[in-house]
């Protein structure tokens, strides 16, 4: 047997239990199952799936081969969701490279993919937006904002679909804004704005009082400069004396509420060119004795510029903006015909934040003409990470819903596809003082009589900071999952709108626990807690192999496989074996609806941590199946499952009971740079026991176990 090698930053060990078999007590612990009423019911072919995300450039042909797809599917997950990564890169998505430009002579403007299926779509493409206003966002740490790039010919422009022409509402109801982060508190009295057309006729310059304006939006407020309100803007380059005396501020905001509705002579006649607001460059500071601006803004076309953030971005772009090396988004024909969808309806995205309703409608029309089965449609990608306010997302959502339902009224649409968070997402207070992002989005749909257009609510789940994961985080996962589902309900999500976790893993960046036994136990708890709390669909990410590479505290990889740069699979990770226990032992895909019942165990350590969690399902074949997680790193524990009926009478498994276990005795991760590997590397151990009411089952230390059988 291989020698155990600890990670570079060892995970914290559980405190030994005060009353356990290893501490002088041999009594088994009772796994209590309340079999009197189910907590929830689910069909694994709808509720337990995986995802296909963007791939490294040039790897589509390596992933979509029969051996790799067969290996991917062997983890047992059912449906799949296609992740639309392009919007995280602040880029327009060409799901079909064939289509039409709104300005065909210049091969620029707003692109609509062809709905006619005349070529097999193997790839799709990203076009970084040239009118970008965010220096960085929740997904992009490259590129730059045009507001502080120092180039007088480039500019930011807001999304025209948020103007009154398209929303049917006054521009003041969807104010657009630009935030300047000076990165330190400075004394500010002057702002210079070089406007492009369309410019703002009405706007206000504000400063932030409080904590970080973007990261902590409820811990401060925007205050207007005494001379910062403009009621009749004329465009051009204007220098505004904001106050007689400088004001100490780090964050400045230009809040725009009325557009000029004009466009430059060189622009096409497309009405979208004159909708919204556009700014070439911003400057901030003070005037010297010669009345010259002492500018405190760094103007440069890279991440070293003074950072800016914006309310929205115009999806206008041109053919020359194509970035072929940004990553490989799978083409829809390859996706649906390769077998990776498991022959089940798939969840697919549409580009909404940086797209057009016409393009998304054409995408749906294309898929329908091909006859590909669609389960759900996710609208946009992580608007909270793109700094979009909920009312703006709501306005886009309704325009897209109208366009998509005109193609197929039966489509099930949803979102907002939140970033992985553990708490309610907060934004700057509105006029009523409301700060909940989801609550305000739901109110927008309800106010417009369109709440039925939200067929599901989706979010991502990446619970732990990558460099701070410890073993004790395992104890928190079930509560984190049940808590966030309750948060969304408390925000006003209707009871009949299902909750879907459409992308999930331990953390949002690589960290060594991804490939340690920690990840197997985390995944079992995460899935079990989600379904017990009433979640409708859980997608584990990703399904495909990815190269082994350096992460926090050691070498690791996402997902189920250890692979080299050519995606040759060298080994299987702990998450792979946990996936098989969940999908091939605990539940039965293809069998129909399962019922899940409340279950638990009283065993705790000296610090009060629950050491054994339990998730009980009754399968359609009337077998009972228990998913048991022993989170004690040091000790095995004897247990006896007891099922209590409506009258409180105990029942037990009897006859042949299948037991399958996977834990630290079967798997150890060795961090050794590019030679990192698991050894031993499974597989789970399984046996069949002729059980009765007195049978004791022993859960190995740090393990996931499934017990399955019928009542005796």
Degrees (nearest 5) of the Cα angle 328, 333, 337? 110
**How many Å is the Cα radius of gyration of the chain?**
28
Beta bridge partners of 295: 285
- Tell me the mean pLDDT in the region 400-419: 98
* pLDDT band of 11, cuts 50, 70, 90: very low
Q: How far apart are CA 403 and CA 148, in angstroms?
A: 36
Which of the two residues, 698 and 566, has the higher pLDDT score?
698
- Tell me the mean pLDDT in the region 471-477: 97
* pLDDT band of 265, cuts 50, 70, 90: confident
pLDDT at residue 653 is higher than 80:
yes
pLDDT tens digits, residue range 47-91?
999 999 988 888 899 999 999 999 999 999 999 999 999 999 999
The pLDDT score that the predictor gives to residue 16 is: 40
Q: State the first-to-last Cα distance of the chain, in angstroms, to the nearest integer.
A: 39
pLDDT at residue 227 is higher than 70:
yes
Q: How far apart are CA 155 and CA 153, in angstroms?
A: 7
pLDDT at residue 230 is higher than 70:
yes
Average pLDDT, the chain: 94
* pLDDT band of 6, cuts 50, 70, 90: very low
The DSSP-derived string for 491-549 is TT--TTS-EEEEEE-S-SS-BGGGGSHHHHHHHHHHHHHHHHTT-SEEEES--S--B-E
pLDDT tens digits, residue range 513-526?
999 999 999 999 99
Longest CA span, the chain: 94
The pLDDT score that the predictor gives to residue 141 is: 81
The pLDDT score that the predictor gives to residue 161 is: 98
The pLDDT score that the predictor gives to residue 140 is: 75
Neighbours of 513 (CB within 10 A): 29
Cα 235 versus chain centre, distance: 39
pLDDT at residue 12 is higher than 50:
no
Q: What are phi and psi of 698, to 5 degrees?
A: -100, 125
Backbone torsion region of residue 448, taken as left when φ is above 0, otherwise alpha when ψ lies between -120 and 50, otherwise beta: alpha
The pLDDT score that the predictor gives to residue 17 is: 41
pLDDT tens digits, residue range 92-141?
999 999 999 999 999 999 999 999 999 999 999 999 999 999 999 987 78
- Provide the token pair at 22: 């290893």
The pLDDT score that the predictor gives to residue 21 is: 41
Degrees (nearest 5) of the Cα angle 139, 140, 145? 135
pLDDT at residue 327 is higher than 90:
no
The pLDDT score that the predictor gives to residue 2 is: 30
The pLDDT score that the predictor gives to residue 18 is: 41
Domains of the chain: 156-314 (2.60.120.260)
The pLDDT score that the predictor gives to residue 79 is: 98
pLDDT at residue 692 is higher than 90:
yes
The pLDDT score that the predictor gives to residue 29 is: 97
pLDDT tens digits, residue range 23-44?
434 689 999 999 999 999 999 9
Q: How far apart are CA 307 and CA 320, in angstroms?
A: 26
Q: Residues near 667 by Cβ (< 8 Å), separated by ≥ 6?
A: 517, 520, 574, 577, 678, 680, 681, 682
pLDDT at residue 581 is higher than 70:
yes
* pLDDT band of 8, cuts 50, 70, 90: very low
- Tell me the mean pLDDT in the region 494-504: 97
The DSSP-derived string for 146-195 is SSSSS-TT--EE--GGGSHHHHSS-GGGS-EEEEEEEEEEEEE-EEEEEE
Classify residue 380 by its DSSP letter: S
Model-level pTM? 0.94
Classify residue 36 by its DSSP letter: T
The pLDDT score that the predictor gives to residue 38 is: 96
- Provide the token pair at 649: 């009478």
- Tell me the mean pLDDT in the region 290-308: 97
How many helices (DSSP H) and strands (DSSP E) are in the chain?
11, 42
- Tell me the mean pLDDT in the region 533-540: 98
Q: How far apart are CA 591 and CA 620, in angstroms?
A: 6
Least Cα distance to 535 among 581, 483, 590 occurs for: 483
Q: Say if residues 515 and 574 touch (Cβ distance below 8 Å).
A: yes
* pLDDT band of 269, cuts 50, 70, 90: confident
- Tell me the mean pLDDT in the region 363-380: 98
Neighbours of 289 (CB within 10 A): 5
- Tell me the mean pLDDT in the region 171-193: 97
pLDDT at residue 385 is higher than 90:
yes
Give the whole-number percent of the chain exceeding pLDDT 70.
96
- Tell me the mean pLDDT in the region 200-228: 97
């Amino acid at each position: 047997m291989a020698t155990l090698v600890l990670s570079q930053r060892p995970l914290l060990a559980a405190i030994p239990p005060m009353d356990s078999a290893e501490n002088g007590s041999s009594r088994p612990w009772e796994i209590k199952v309340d079999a009197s009423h189910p907590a929830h019911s689910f069909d694994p072919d709808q509720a337990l799936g995986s995802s296909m995300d963007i791939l490294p450039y040039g790897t589509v042909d390596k992933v979509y081969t029969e051996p790799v797809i067969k290996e991917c599917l062997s983890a047992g997950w059912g449906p799949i969701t296609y992740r639309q990564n392009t919007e995280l890169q602040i880029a327009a998505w060409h799901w079909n490279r064939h289509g039409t430009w709104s300005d065909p002579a210049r091969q620029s403007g707003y692109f609509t993919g062809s709905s006619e299926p005349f070529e097999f779509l193997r790839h799709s493409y990203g076009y970084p937006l040239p009118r970008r206003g965010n220096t960085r966002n929740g997904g992009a740490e490259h590129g730059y904002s045009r507001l502080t790039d120092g180039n007088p010919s480039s500019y930011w422009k807001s999304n025209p679909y948020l103007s009154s022409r398209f929303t049917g509402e006054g521009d003041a109801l969807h104010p657009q804004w630009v935030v300047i982060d000076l990165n330190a508190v400075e004394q500010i009295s002057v702002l210079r704005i070089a406007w492009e057309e369309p410019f703002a006729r009405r706007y206000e310059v504000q400063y932030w009082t409080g904590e970080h304006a973007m990261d902590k939006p409820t811990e401060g407020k925007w205050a207007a400069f005494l001379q910062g309100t403009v009621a009749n803007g004329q465009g051009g380059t204007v220098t505004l004396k904001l106050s007689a005396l400088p004001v100490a501020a780090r964050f400045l905001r230009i809040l725009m509420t009325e557009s000029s509705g004009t466009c430059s002579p060189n622009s096409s006649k497309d009405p979208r060119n004159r909708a919204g607001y556009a700014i070439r460059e911003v400057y901030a500071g003070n005037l010297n004795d010669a009345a010259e601006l002492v500018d405190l803004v760094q103007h440069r076309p890279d991440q070293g510029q003074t950072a800016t953030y914006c309310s929205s971005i115009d999806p206008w772009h041109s053919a020359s903006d194509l970035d072929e090396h940004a990553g490989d988004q799978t083409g829809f024909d390859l996706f649906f015909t390769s077998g990776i969808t498991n022959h089940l309806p798939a969840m697919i995205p549409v580009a909404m934040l940086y797209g057009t309703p016409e393009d998304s409608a054409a995408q749906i029309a294309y898929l329908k003409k091909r006859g590909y089965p669609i389960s759900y449609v996710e609208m946009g990608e992580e608007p909270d990470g793109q700094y979009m306010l909920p009312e703006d997302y709501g306005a886009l959502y309704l325009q897209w819903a109208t366009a998509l339902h005109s193609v197929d009224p039966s489509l099930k649409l949803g979102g907002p596809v939140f970033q992985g968070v553990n708490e309610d997402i907060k934004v700057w207070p509105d006029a009523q003082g409301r700060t909940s992002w989801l609550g305000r989005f739901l109110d927008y749909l309800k106010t417009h009589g369109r709440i039925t257009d939200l067929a599901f609510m989706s979010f991502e789940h990446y619970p732990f900071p990558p460099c701070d994961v410890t073993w004790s985080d395992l104890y928190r996962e079930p509560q984190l999952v049940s808590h966030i589902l309750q948060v969304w309900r408390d925000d006003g999500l209707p009871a009949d709108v299902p909750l879907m976790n459409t992308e999930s893993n331990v953390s949002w960046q690589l960290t060594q626990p991804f490939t340690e036994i920690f990840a197997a136990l985390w995944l079992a708890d995460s899935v079990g807690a989600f379904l017990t709390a009433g979640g409708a669909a859980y997608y584990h990410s990703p399904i495909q192999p990815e190269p082994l590479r350096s992460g926090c505290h050691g070498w690791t990889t996402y997902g189920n496989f250890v692979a080299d740069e050519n995606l040759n699979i060298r080994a299987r990770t702990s998450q792979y074996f946990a996936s098989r226990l969940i999908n091939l032992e605990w539940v039965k895909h293809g069998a129909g609806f399962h019922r899940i019942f409340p279950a638990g165990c009283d065993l705790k350590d000296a610090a009060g941590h629950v050491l054994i969690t339990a998730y009980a399902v009754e399968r359609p074949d009337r077998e009972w199946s228990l998913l048991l997680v022993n989170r004690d790193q040091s000790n095995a524990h004897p247990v006896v499952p007891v099922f209590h009926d409506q009258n409180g009478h105990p029942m037990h498994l009897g006859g042949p009971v299948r037991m399958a276990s996977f834990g630290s005795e079967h798997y150890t991760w060795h961090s050794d740079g590019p030679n990192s590997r698991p050894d031993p590397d499974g597989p789970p151990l399984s046996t069949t026991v002729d059980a009765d009411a007195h049978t004791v089952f022993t859960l190995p230390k740090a393990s996931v176990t499934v017990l399955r059988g019928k009542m005796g």
